[in-house]
Amino acid sequence: MKMWSGRFSQGPDAEFERWQRSFPFDRVLLPHEVAASKAHATALAKAGVLTSDELATTLFALDQIGREGTPEADEPTIEDVHHYVEARLFELVGEVGYKLHTGRSRNEQIATDLRLYVREQTDETTRLLAEFASTFVKQAEEAGDSAMPAYTHLQRAEPVLVAHWLLAYVEMFLRDIDRLSDCRKRLNVCPLGSGAVAGTILPLDREAIASLLEFDSPTANSMDATSDRDFAIEFVQALAFVALHLSRWAEEFILFSTTEFGFVKLPEEYSTGSSAMPQKKNPDALELIRGKAGKVFAEATALFSGMKGLPLAYNKDLQETQQPVFSAAQQVSGMVRVATGFMGAVEFNYAAMQRAASCGFMNAQAAAAYLVRQGMPFRRAHELIGKAVRLCVEQSCELEQLSRDDYALCGIDADQQFYNALALNEVLAIHNVPGGTAATRVREALQTAKEKLSQFVGVAHACS
Ligand code: ARG
């Protein structure tokens, strides 16, 4: 039976009917629709609308519907997932199935189902991100005290520990996890009992419904509850940040895998060859991650602009908020999974990184710092070391290869301690502040990152 045919003397235009259906995509909400329906049925029994036998029959059948899953093929007579559950319930239990919709509306149902979906995906994405970030921690541990250049303006700037570089990405992904958990906090309220717009017509125990579905509380306003999609926007925006960070990571690894850099050895299991050039090993996994990031941004924009200007309360436009959520969640899950596999398999050319860290005047600031420690004002020291660098460029050598006489020409008294201060280990060691690249600081940072991540691994299982 249709859900709303009584008032109409004729059916909808066939093309319009096909076109407005959401079942082809909202079928993924089936487990949540079943859970929400069970909670509503329980409240109906408490309110005296269902007898205890009818409740038992209804719950039993709803469980069966959940276990069956949605049909393989689309069912053209079914409008949406809410219609599907009602129709299947009627097939299974007959007339009593039509009691379930007492005191509720699809407007509150979709608002509830989508929240449950986003909550589940938030937990799953958190778990995936924590696993991904853990591969950086593992690689950072393996890197030990190996060094590499850090770049600003993509020009060699200062040497850092490889571990320090890898932990920079962990910070990005920890922020993403934090954004997801913030989004989860706000979304975890239950719209059931809001009715179509003004609140349900029955004395339903909304607190009990909310707690059955593990929501923190019922929503506070029926008009907002049935039309709010902020939680969906926040979730997809949080995913857009994940995609943004993944694309930065992918780009840097692509760059570092080029012959010109030679820092990253592409794992064969995440690379492809060329049908034309026999020598090629291409970073396709990274390129696709970089490419798919744009699609996630597009979904975030679609959601945001789809909500613009919607008057209170439910409008059918809201049906269009579902697909961007499903698509962004699927895209990001695939991207993080592949990225995790890649990071587990990738190898670094530590020798090439160390070589690159040891040349290109990246000890210039440390040299100036040495002069500062001797009492020279920094601006003066900067100027003198700059002159020394100019001399090096003329002589095609490094600062540590310049003679004492050359330094004297620049106005620098280069004693043995000055030369010692130019050594890579010394340069790394002077960045001895929290958040800096000195080995002891990086070891502390590694420990902190591990502790932070350990609380998230397995979070999805804990919450389901
Ligand atoms: N499929 C609909 C959606 O996703 C369910 C709500 C329909 N409500 C209505 N008043 N037509 O938005």
Which residue among 19, 105, 319, 320 is best mutated to probe the pocket of ligand 1, counting the most ligand atoms within 8 A of its Cβ?
Answer: 319
Residue 211 annotated as catalytic: no
What is the Å distance from ligand 1's center to 440 Cα?
Answer: 58
Give 107 Cα–ligand 1 centroid separation in angstroms: 6
Helix 322-345 to helix 284-307 angle (10° resolution) is 160
What pLDDT shows up at residue 5?
81
Q: 274-289: per-residue pLDDT in tens?
A: 898 899 899 999 999 9
Residue 164 has pLDDT above 60, yes or no: yes
Q: What is the tens place of the pLDDT at every residue in 22-44?
A: 999 999 999 999 999 999 999 99
Query: What is the C-alpha to C-alpha distance for residues 26 and 22, in angstroms, rounded to an integer?
Result: 6
- Band of the pLDDT at 56, cuts 50, 70, 90? very high
Distance (Å, whole) CA 209 – CA 250: 44
Residue 230's pLDDT is: 98
80 ligand 1 Cβ < 6 A = yes
pLDDT digits (tens, 9 = 90+) for 395-427: 999 999 999 999 999 999 999 999 999 999 999
Query: What integer pLDDT is reported at residue 464 of this predicted model?
Result: 37
Res 46 pLDDT > 70? yes
Tens-digit pLDDT profile for residues 304-357: 999 999 999 999 999 999 999 999 999 999 999 999 999 999 999 999 999 999
Residue 107 Cβ contacting ligand 1 at under 6 Å: yes
Q: Which atom of ligand 1 is nearest to the CA of 196?
A: 10
Cα 363 to chain center, whole Å?
37
pTM here is: 0.96
Tokens representing 317?
């436009």
22 lines ligand 1 (CB under 6 A): yes
274 tagged catalytic:
yes
> How confident is the model over 200-247, as pLDDT tens digits?
999 999 999 999 999 999 999 999 999 999 999 999 999 999 999 999
pLDDT given at position 4: 79
CA of 316 to the centre of ligand 1 (A): 6
Distance separating alpha carbons of residues 238 and 229, to the nearest angstrom:
14
Task: Map tokens 């050039």 to a residue.
Answer: 277
Count CB atoms within 10 A of the CB of residue 412: 22
The pLDDT value recorded for residue 1 is 77
CA–CA dist 433, 224 (Å, integer): 48
Q: Residue 460: pLDDT band by 50, 70, 90 thresholds?
A: very low
8 Å CB contact between 81 and 114: no
Mean pLDDT of the chain: 96
Q: Active-site residue among 153, 396, 461, 464?
A: 153
Q: What does the block give as tokens for 175?
A: 């922020």
Report helix, strand and coil shares of the chain as percent, to nearest 5. Answer: 65, 5, 30
pLDDT at 458: 58
pLDDT at 428 over 80: yes
461 band by pLDDT with thresholds 50, 70 and 90: very low
| Atom of ligand 1 at shortest range from CA of 322 | 4
